[in-house]
Amino acid sequence: MKRKLLSVLLCTILIMGILPGIAGAEGKFIFFQRKAELNPVFDEIAKIYQEETGVEMEVWGDMGDGYINTLQAKLTSGFGPTIFTVRTGVETELLTQYLSDLSDHPVTALVLNDLELVGTQGNIVGIPYGMEGYGLLVNSEILDASSVVDYASFEKALQDAQAAGKIPFEASDKGFFMVGHILNVPFAMQENPLEFIAKLNKGEVKLSETPEFVEWAKYLEAIRTYGTNPLEVSYDDQIANFANGETAMINMGNWANVLFDEYGVAFDYPMIPMPVLGNNKISVGIPNFFAINTQSSPEEQAAAADFLTWLYTSETGKKCMVEMLKLIPTVEGVDPGELDPMSETVFAATQSGESLMWTYNHWPNNIVNNYIVPATQEFFMDENITGIQYLEMLDEAWAQANQAI
Amino acid sequence: MRHSPGKMQCQVPVGRNAGRNLLASIAPKRVKTKEIIKKGAIVLQSRLSKRATNNLWFVIFVVPTLAAFLFAVVVPFLIGIYYSFFSWDGIPLNPKTFVGVSNYTHLFSDARFLQAGGRTFVFTFFSVISINIVGLFFALLVTSKLRTRNLARGIFFAPHMLGGLLLGYIWKFVFSNVFKNLGATLGMEHIFFNWLINKEYALAALVVVNTWKMAGYIMIIYIAGLESIPGDVMEAASVDGANYFQRLRNITFPLLMPSFTIALFLSLSNSFKIYDTNLSLTGGGPANATELFAMNIFSEIFKSNNYGYGQAKAIVFFVLVACITVLQTSITKKREVEM
């Protein structure tokens, strides 16, 4: 009898758990974005939004399988989020059927410098969310950032740092922190980067024969000679060593500011361009765009569109954007407020237009982790591989990535 | 126990209707035919319903498992075969293009896939050997007269409880920090260095961790086998003057063949299909030196979005694993002996 009671009880609990899922509240939408560290903040924002408008916003956390994998699984199963974030290039092409046309959305007209996401049909499908930039961060207590202007001075700086008993340069083991970010520099320096990538995909140009890349490879050789082996350094170590003043130079972006704040970094660390062939621009881009799912119900889509309008144009929304999410504004009419030094550099670069674009979203799908990283690991493990040989390996990586079905 | 309704009254009844039949047997001897038929019907009915209940239980236990197997394994497998003939990125709204067997033919020119395959064979070979040697050694140890044998069993089995993903991260720390410091302290840098950043040693590291994880599990199987060997055979052998190693070779091992079959099968198929430890320990690096089959397939499907091609790889992978394990089972089965 007792057992029967227990099973009845369990069944009731189970059914009660399922019911709200089936019922589905009206005027509600689901929100899912890439940056895991911002999820608690979006939970707060959801509360504020519900208080102001009465509309419920369900924020999905990272489900532990990587954002894009989870998103893809959810979208393809037909239970996708209403608002999600997407990147330019390959990701936009892949998910193009799910991206609503936002050309008439009120926020689209306010977007600065044509930063909005253009879909495969040439229409606007995404609203930029946050701006990020990166370059070389120099510990000004060890080195003088303004002295690093070309290859010779870069190498000299590494030697000076070594003589001072510091780690001259440190990268870390994950794809973009090892090579992806800095490899963007010579790509973005091309006159027409996207055209260059298209030619490279067809095998019409070679990295090993392009002057920007040849010069860039010299920097990588110097990093291998003087810096630590990135295979042995985790992202956390990289940040910690720099924040503790043990590293003279790292390549990093303004997203790390939160972490540096936690360490209470006391010294100045200006962000400077990687001076390949006199390059004087840092790389700035929009990591994510808000998109609205075409497969959601019209009510949900409308609710989602209203939320984006609220977030970008209402006073409360703008406050959430700048003060809570600490994002660099991407639309008109939002006062950036007091930015941290790195973000200020990034914001100034976009204001003046003196910045390099992010090209890696246009590289072949998954090429960084699948092909470039293995080649780079090889390069860092074997001192005998020259910069040119490394570039030839990258050319080979490109060929392989394009040869795959 | 079989009994006809007529005989029932004169023997001591047993079974479900024992009470009623007992009453009947001590009742007046004059039993009407009608009653006998009635009683017979009751017995028949109870038997029938017993069979029916049994069937019901059978259904209750089997159907959920069968359904789960059908919907989670068989159906996706068949759909997978279907998709392997298409070029598709895995997004339902995007077009699927029928490409026939070109996914399969492309496989044989995919150097990276073939390399991952070769590596998987090497890895599996060494893994199976080391897992079974260590597992058997553990089993012999904890079935001996060791005083702490129960504790030892627990300790040896513990790594298996942790799961491959976690073990991978733990060992990543061991290799990259402990090994490095150990090497520096002991002055044995040629043995104790960060194995994970050396192409050959990284695969060896994977074998070590896989052994660490699987040996305890395999140990359990060997323990079961060892404990089912009758004591009198061993005793007779010792009386005949056989020493420990002679008994091991001539009695224990032949009688342990069924355990070998299972242990080899499990270690072989598990090593072949390894993904979790591979992901957390090396992530396929350095420079792809430890990318195994499962990882290659996973990244093809979920990272590079080549769903159809990845499916074709997975089917080939399945056929390979199936062939090898069937071959292994049939070989070791032949060597099993009956008592």
Of A232, A369, A377, the CB nearest to B194: A232
pLDDT, tens only, A177-188: 999 999 999 999
Is the pLDDT confidence value at B139 over 50? yes
Strand partners, A28: A56
Say if the Cβ atoms of B197 and A381 lie within 8 Å.
Answer: yes
pLDDT (0 to 100) of residue A23: 39
pLDDT (0 to 100) of residue B326: 92
pLDDT (0 to 100) of residue A65: 66
Please state, in angstroms and rounded to a whole number, the distance separating the CA atoms of residues A360 and A132.
14
Q: Is B27 helix (H, G, I), strand (E, B) or coil?
A: coil
pLDDT (0 to 100) of residue A396: 92
Query: Best residue in A70, A370, A393 to probe B by mutation, most B CBs within 10 Å?
Result: A370
What residues of chain B lie within 8 A of the CB of A100, using their CB? none
Q: Is B168 exposed, middle or buried (0-12, 13-18, 19+ CB in 10 A)?
A: buried
Is the pLDDT confidence value at A156 over 50? yes
Q: With bands split at pLDDT 50, 70 and 90, how would you rate the model's confidence at B336?
A: confident
pLDDT, tens only, B24-37: 554 445 556 677 77
A146's CB contacts (< 8 A; 6+ apart) are: A272
Degrees, nearest 5: CA angle B219-B222-B227: 125
Mean pLDDT (whole number) for B91-103: 88
Is the pLDDT confidence value at B70 over 90? yes
Mean pLDDT (whole number) for A379-387: 93
Is the pLDDT confidence value at B114 over 60? yes
Which H or E element spans position A289? Answer: strand A288-292
Does A385 lie at the interface with B, CB-CB under 8 angstroms?
A: no
Closest-CA distance of chain A to residue B279, Å: 13
Half-sphere exposure of B57 (CA within 13 A, CB side): 5
C-alpha distances in angstroms, B113 versus A356, B95, B339?
A: 36, 26, 46
Instruction: Answer with the residue of higher pLDDT: A235 or B33.
Output: A235
Mean pLDDT of chain A: 88
Mean pLDDT (whole number) for B192-221: 92
Which H or E element spans position B54? Answer: helix B33-69
Mean pLDDT of chain B: 85
Is the pLDDT confidence value at B149 over 90? no
The pair of three-digit structure tokens given for residue B165, joined into one six-digit string: 């993903």
pLDDT (0 to 100) of residue B339: 61
End-to-end C-alpha distance for chain B, whole angstroms = 31
The pair of three-digit structure tokens given for residue B271, joined into one six-digit string: 């090593």
Interhelix angle B111-142/B257-272, rounded to 10 degrees, is 140
pLDDT (0 to 100) of residue A218: 95
B226's CB contacts (< 8 A; 6+ apart) are: B139, B140, B143, B252, B256, B259
Say if the Cβ atoms of B309 and A377 lie within 8 Å.
Answer: no
DSSP symbol at B118: H
Question: Which ranges in A77-229 belong to alpha helices (H)?
Answer: 90-94, 151-163, 175, 181-188, 193-202, 211-226
Of A76, A231, A404, the CB nearest to B92: A76
Q: Is the ipTM of this complex over 0.85?
A: no
Query: Cβ of A162: how many Cβ atoms within 10 Å?
Result: 16
B238's CB contacts (< 8 A; 6+ apart) are: B247
Say if the Cβ atoms of A405 and B309 lie within 8 Å.
Answer: yes
Is the pLDDT confidence value at B146 over 90? no
Quote the strand ranges of chain B, DSSP E.
Answer: 86-87, 97-98
Question: Does the bond joining B286 to the residue before it have cis omega, within 30 degrees of 0?
Answer: yes
A residues 47-106 closer than 8 Å to B (CB):
69, 72, 75-76, 94-95, 97-98
Residue in A closest to B97 by C-alpha:
A405
Mean pLDDT (whole number) for B266-284: 92
Kindly report the three-state secondary structure assignment for every residue of A349-382: HHHHCCEECCCHHHCCCCHHHHHHHHHHHHHHHC
The pair of three-digit structure tokens given for residue B223, joined into one six-digit string: 């323990």
Predicted TM-score (pTM) of this structure: 0.79
Question: Strands A271-272, A132-138: parallel, antiparallel or unpaired by DSSP?
Answer: antiparallel
Is the pLDDT confidence value at A299 over 50? yes
Q: What is the DSSP string of A212-267?
A: HHHHHHHHHHHHHHHS--GGG--HHHHHHHHHTT-EEEEEEEGGGHHHHHHHT--S
Mean pLDDT (whole number) for B137-148: 88
Say if the Cβ atoms of B304 and A94 lie within 8 Å.
Answer: no
Mean pLDDT (whole number) for B156-172: 90
Half-sphere exposure of B99 (CA within 13 A, CB side): 20
Is the pLDDT confidence value at A17 over 50? no
pLDDT (0 to 100) of residue A7: 59
pLDDT, tens only, A28-83: 899 999 888 788 889 999 999 999 899 999 999 876 667 888 898 888 888 899 99
Please state, in angstroms and rounded to a whole number, the distance separating the CA atoms of residues B209 and B193.
16
pLDDT (0 to 100) of residue A10: 52
pLDDT, tens only, A361-375: 889 888 998 899 999
